[in-house]
Amino acid sequence: MFAETFLLFSFVMITLHNFLKQQNCDSHLARLMGEVIPDAMVKIRAAIDVQTGEYAGTENVSGDQQLALDVQCNDIIKAACRDSGLVHSFASEEEEAQVALQEDALFTVCTDPLDGSSLANVNFAVGTIVGVYPAGELKGRSAGEQIAACFAVYGPRTTLMLTVGDGTHAFTLAPDGNFYIEKERIKIQEEAKYFAPGNLRAAAERDEYLQLVNSWIKKKMTLRYSGGMVPDINHTFIKGSGIFCYPGFSEMPQGKLRLLFECAPMAQLVEQAGGLALDGAAQPILSQKIEAYAQPTQIFIGSKKTVEEACNKML
């Protein structure tokens, strides 16, 4: 019965790479986003399934303790980029600097190889985030210069959300190792029904944040917060509504989420679905200049009207 169901699934559905070709995506970008990156995500999923939660004994550029799994996932995606011949340079939350791969290649890839890795030990969903720029040095560029972005969610299923600049689309990993289209051109409603308030410690010293969260509760909005940016924003896409936020406070004035590796790719995906991503000054995330690889930014992201209202209350 399972084999018959899968055969029907394969027959009806379109693979990620074929979907991109049908969308007239540049052939090199289609191979990167339709084969190279997804294949690395399949390997990362396999690594997660057998991980033991051991620490690597090292820190990343942001000062976070690295799990052995963090390092392994970084190595997987870096090797995939290097071996593809498509990637000029590679930047990662787990690397100290932008790494040169192939001088005449077309793309620069930025990634958080395993976002929310500390959640893997308690068996929560985690993910991989990827942003793609034209080849070259990243510092001095605008986050809006991305030409593609995606993230994978490693939960009960493995799913992928992707944009190449023409809408945001959802894919699901099948038993044959391919991602198949699940939903085209996802749309996020203007008003959120769900909220995911990151860094609630900030509410202890920022009354405006406490009041904002209380206002969502009084509106009878539904709390959906897992502690991971990837699964929480994925929830917004799947439900078509929601807001995720991570404001700063005295210990971390700009929060802890990185512009390059987390916030910019997510902003690209959400805005391609009709949502909005703003920083703590109510300015677009995608207008920010990249000044450092580990540059943090506050973020309010999701349903457009709710994001705008939240930022106004936080100013």
pLDDT digits over 168-199, tens only? 999 999 999 999 999 999 999 999 999 999 99
Give the CATH number, domain containing residue 244: 3.40.190.80
Token code pair at residue 279: 């920083």
Whether residue 222 is contained in a domain is answered as yes
Whether residue 117 is contained in a domain is answered as yes
Rounded average pLDDT over 43-68: 76
Mean per-residue pLDDT over the chain, rounded: 93
Residue 226 has pLDDT above 90, yes or no: yes
Last residue of a domain, one of 138, 159, 183: 183
pLDDT at residue 66, as a whole number: 74
pLDDT digits over 25-42, tens only? 999 999 999 999 999 999
Q: Are residues 11 and 160 in the same domain?
A: yes
Q: Are residues 231 and 268 in the same domain?
A: yes
Q: Are residues 87 and 223 in the same domain?
A: no
Q: Are residues 26 and 171 in the same domain?
A: yes
Q: Are residues 141 and 51 in the same domain?
A: yes
Whether residue 296 is contained in a domain is answered as yes
Backbone dihedral angles phi then psi of residue 52, each to the nearest 5 degrees: -115, 0
Give the CATH number, domain containing residue 80: 3.30.540.10
Q: Are residues 19 and 160 in the same domain?
A: yes
How many domains, in total, are found in the chain?
2
Q: Are residues 270 and 149 in the same domain?
A: no
52 torsion bin: left (phi>0), alpha (psi -120 to 50), beta (else): alpha
Last residue of a domain, one of 122, 149, 183: 183
Whether residue 189 is contained in a domain is answered as no
pLDDT at residue 58, as a whole number: 66
pLDDT digits over 261-303, tens only? 999 999 999 999 999 999 999 999 999 999 999 999 999 999 9
Last residue of a domain, one of 183, 217, 248: 183
pLDDT at residue 7, as a whole number: 46
- Please, which pLDDT band fits residue 59 given cuts at 50, 70 and 90? low
* Contact present, 66 and 94 (Cβ < 8 Å): yes
Residue 64 has pLDDT above 80, yes or no: no
Q: Are residues 166 and 235 in the same domain?
A: no
Whether residue 155 is contained in a domain is answered as yes
- Could you give the CA distance from residue 187 to residue 81 in angstroms, rounded to a whole number? 30
- Could you give the CA distance from residue 39 to residue 37 in angstroms, rounded to a whole number? 5
Residue 94 has pLDDT above 90, yes or no: yes
pLDDT digits over 136-170, tens only? 999 999 999 999 999 999 999 999 999 999 999 99
299 beta partners? 246
Whether residue 45 is contained in a domain is answered as yes
Which residue range forms the structural domain that includes residue 273? 194-314
pLDDT at residue 139, as a whole number: 97
Count CB-CB contacts under 10 A for residue 4: 8
- Could you give the CA distance from residue 64 to residue 1 in angstroms, rounded to a whole number? 46
pLDDT at residue 2, as a whole number: 42
Residue 11 has pLDDT above 60, yes or no: no
What pTM was computed for the model? 0.94
Backbone dihedral angles phi then psi of residue 171, each to the nearest 5 degrees: -135, 155
Whether residue 188 is contained in a domain is answered as no
Instruction: Give the chain's end-to-end CA distance (angstroms, integer).
Output: 57
Residue 53 has pLDDT above 80, yes or no: no
Q: Are residues 144 and 27 in the same domain?
A: yes
Q: Of 263, 276, 300, whose CA–CA distance to 112 is shortest?
A: 263
pLDDT higher at 12 or 131: 131
Backbone dihedral angles phi then psi of residue 149, each to the nearest 5 degrees: -155, 155
Residue 309 has pLDDT above 50, yes or no: yes
Among 8-22, 98-112, 159-173, 224-238, the least confident range: 8-22
pLDDT at residue 6, as a whole number: 47
pLDDT at residue 118, as a whole number: 84
Q: Are residues 171 and 68 in the same domain?
A: yes
305, amino acid identity: K
Whether residue 154 is contained in a domain is answered as yes
Q: Are residues 31 and 168 in the same domain?
A: yes
pLDDT at residue 12, as a whole number: 61
Q: Are residues 68 and 126 in the same domain?
A: yes
Among 64-73, 95-104, 162-171, 173-182, the least confident range: 64-73
Q: How far is CA 205 from the centre of its chain?
A: 29
